[in-house]
Amino acid sequence: QKEVEQDPGPLSVPEGAIVSLNCTYSNSAFQYFMWYRQYSRKGPELLMYTYSSGNKEDGRFTAQVDKSSKYISLFIRDSQPSDSATYLCAMSGIQGAQKLVFGQGTRLTINP
């Protein structure tokens, strides 16, 4: 069983829809949670960063962490065609990036 599970999709939704992307994990030591966005043929870019449980909002994006369920989510409101990309969750414990584990990524397409 992988430490981090992420549905690879692909996921296709109409413009303006609310998108929900999710990851589950098995390591209870994880305490730093991130979402990266990767456009085709580009490197990933950090989208959201949260520590421990709770919600974090940044514009149309909301990240949620539920450590009791070992479940994290990324919500995209009013989705735009420019949001079409692969979204990767990532998480680590106190060791930081030395033990940063990525999900396999969900490919998202927003249709105009």
Partner 1 sequence: NAGVTQTPKFQVLKTGQSMTLQCAQDMNHEYMSWYRQDPGMGLRLIHYSVGAGITDQGEVPNGYNVSRSTTEDFPLRLLSAAPSQTSVYFCASSGDRAGEKLFFGSGTQLSVL
Residues that bind partner 1 (CB under 8 A): 4, 6, 8, 32, 34, 36, 41-46, 49, 88, 90, 92, 94-98, 100, 102-105
The residue (of 14 and 96) whose beta carbon lies closer to partner 1 is 96
- The distance of closest approach from Cβ of residue 4 to partner 1 in the complex, given in angstroms and rounded to an integer, is 8
- The distance of closest approach from Cβ of residue 18 to partner 1 in the complex, given in angstroms and rounded to an integer, is 25
The residue (of 17 and 73) whose beta carbon lies closer to partner 1 is 73
> How many residues comprise the chain?
112
The residue (of 15 and 45) whose beta carbon lies closer to partner 1 is 45
